[in-house]
Amino acid sequence: MAGTTMMTTKMMSSAPGMTPGQSVTSQPPQPSTSLPLRTIPGSYGWPLLGPISDRLDYFWFQGPEKFFKNRIEKHQSTVFRTNVPPSFPFFRVNPNVIAVLDCKSFAHMFDMDIVEKKNILVGDFMPSVKFTGNIRVCAYLDTAEPQHAQVKNFTMDILKRGSKVWVSEFLSSLDTMCYNLETTIKEKGSASFLLPMQKFLFEFLCKAFVGADPSTTPEIAKSGHFMIDRWLALQLLPTVHVGVLQPLEEIFLHSFSYPFFLVGGGYKKLQNFILEQGKEVVERGQKEYGLSQEETVHNLLFTLGFNAFGGFSLFLPGVINRVVSDETGLQEKLVKEVREKGSQGLSFDSVKEMELVQSVVYETLRLDPPVPIQYARARRDFQLSSHDNVFDVKKGELLCGFQQLVMKDPKVFDEPETFKPDRFVGEGKKLLNYLYWSNGPQSGSPSESNKQCAGKDHVTLSAALFLAYLFSRYDSISGDSSSFKALVKAT
């Protein structure tokens, strides 16, 4: 089970979305008449051979980041044509994409007048709808589809209502996790926090988002997070660079889609748990938003499991890793700020006053986005501009943005490869206009008319609350992205 959890967490780094919605408050830059028009460089190669060659580079010989970096250098352009996995002959998908790898070109993917998001959560590949109860959940709906507004509004409403207990449930579950970790460290000298963190996340999210308490159902309390792990894993395996021994990864992980029946039993138990323990929320979806019971339950499960649980499972370990690996005195600064600004207790309001805490969260999202790849399909012909050129994009062409490179745009971010904890402090807050982890800028707002993450602010504030909690409880922590070696209690 631990292996499944670690693999799923790894795979979520390529899963495009922590919540089913996504947005932007301003339009992307319009093509400048001063920029030269250029034909999009690159090619898709010979049928079958081109996609297979790119697939092997992407998964095996280069890895995703080097794959895109090499092509930027080759074409001298942050916009080019290439193939992304999965591809023929194993999948009936079109792997052809236009890569957009700078902030200016990437931002076009948020303009719903020129792009659509129908069935492209992970590019042209779409897992079987059996994984979501034969329902196309909100993540696969385009804003032009009437159902999108119903589900998006329902999701935002549930998040708003859940805010009443969000912080208290978060801190209560976190208390339990930290106490158990301290006990383990005392007994064994170190403690892995990946599984305890997933258990904490599952418990807290069920209570705050769905109003369902896992402790009322012993099997769900014990194994609910494992059920979601396996459900996530089977959907994402064909698209993710896991890093296990090749060619085994290519043969067993990237050559076919795994069938739903392998996780169908666990998913059914989760579905019944939501129906029985989250009755009020399910009924609200039906009565207030006109959704069927099936639509309500499967959208709730997707948001809870794929978006929130999966995203947090990757993101929070990344925050810890950045803090414990810092050698500039960051922990001492965090302790000082947290105890000054949080002296009256921790809440969303108090962490909003902690500029450094929030900046660390934002900087982690910049360098380690839990949603590194975003996709959008051209709704019509339009002109796309990078910093250097203008390109003609045709209706139906698929845009692909690898955010780990986009967020290192040297024309936007100073020393883009360096982790700067205070990058977003003071005047640096202007850079939030270019922090795109949520399928829109951090300065944007989710709505029914866009695809920005419905829980964007809950994510960043919860991560800030998590960091503030650690440094209100501990003077220092040591470890890495998967385990704690020491937790020095506050004196």
Q: Known binding site: residues?
A: 453
Note whether 10 and 370 are within 8 A (CB).
Answer: no
- CA distance linking residue 223 with residue 399, whole number of Å: 38
User: Where do we find the tokens 């080759």?
Assistant: 74
How many residues appear in the chain? Answer: 491
**The token pair that represents 113 in the structure block:** 């007048």
Alpha helices in 257-390 (DSSP H): 264-277, 279-289, 293-302, 310-324, 330-341, 348-352, 355-367
Element (H, E) at 174: helix 146-188
Note whether 207 and 169 are within 8 A (CB).
Answer: yes
User: Binding site for heme: residue ranges?
Assistant: 453
Element (H, E) at 475: strand 474-479
Note whether 13 and 437 are within 8 A (CB).
Answer: no
The total of other beta-carbon atoms located within 10 Å of residue 19's CB is 29
Residues whose CB falls within 8 Å of the CB of residue 251, separated by 6 or more in sequence, listed in order: none
Decide: residue 114, CB within 10 A, 0-12 exposed, 13-18 middle, 19+ buried. Answer: buried
